[in-house]
Amino acid sequence: MIRRNNGIIIIDEITTGAGRTGKWYGYMHYYMAPDIIAMGKGIGNGYPVSITVMKAEIAEALEKNDFHHTQSHQNDPLGCAVVKEVIDTIQEEDLITSSRETGDWFLKELQRLASKQAAIKEVRGRGLMLGIEFNESIEKDHLRALNKELFYRGFLVGYKAVANLFRFYPALTIKRENIKSMMENLEELIIKMLQQ
């Protein structure tokens, strides 16, 4: 429908790209073929880079229309070297397979926890991009304190207060024993939170 109306499909893979969901790109889980892909974050592994990938015919059309785009790190050779190294490492260490397999295991562990804890409304995710949504009845102050205590114990977990959501985006190289340790602490802290 989009292409029949001369539209283009642009996919935002800033967070979901570079193997995060268990495939190179998040869109690969669906039946779509984008014309333009925006990437960042994981593709630089901490180094600030962003990438726009597009079909050749779109790039040619932009060039013919005198389209200009600039940014502070455009054509930065260091950024290019970092991205190349990240891509090589992901391929050499088969981190996309690891992301998918570890993520499937992690999701089952979160589901196991949810089956024992009524405070958890839903668990969802794909690859190493997972989340726990807590019931609306849980006070945000309690969730904030739980998140803070996880941090003090050495676990960096995203917290989105507006959605009562804990987000887990671990490194693609994370080991299961690290996840097990976090899960033990999380379960202990949820039980304590519910006793307050």
What would the mean pLDDT of 171-188 be, rounded to a whole number? 96
What would the mean pLDDT of 53-73 be, rounded to a whole number? 81
- Looking at per-residue confidence, does 50 or 103 come out higher? 103
The band of 75, judged by pLDDT with boundaries at 50, 70 and 90, is confident
Which range (13-22, 57-66, 142-151, 173-182) has the least confidence? 57-66
**19 in Cβ contact with 101 (< 8 Å):** no
The band of 74, judged by pLDDT with boundaries at 50, 70 and 90, is low
Residue 85 has pLDDT above 90, yes or no: yes
**133 in Cβ contact with 122 (< 8 Å):** yes
pTM above 0.85, yes or no: yes
List the CATH code of the domain at 3-92: 3.40.640.10
pLDDT digits (tens, 9 = 90+) for 97-149: 999 999 999 999 999 999 999 999 999 999 999 999 999 999 999 999 999 99
Q: What is the pLDDT of residue 72?
A: 64
Q: For 140-164, what is the HEC assignment?
A: HHHHHHHHHHHHHCCCCCEEEHHHC
Share of the chain above pLDDT 90, in %: 78
The band of 195, judged by pLDDT with boundaries at 50, 70 and 90, is confident
Query: So what CATH class is 95-195?
Result: alpha beta
Q: Domain residues of the chain, as ranges?
A: 3-92, 95-195
Question: Residue 119: left (phi > 0), alpha (psi -120 to 50), or beta?
Answer: alpha
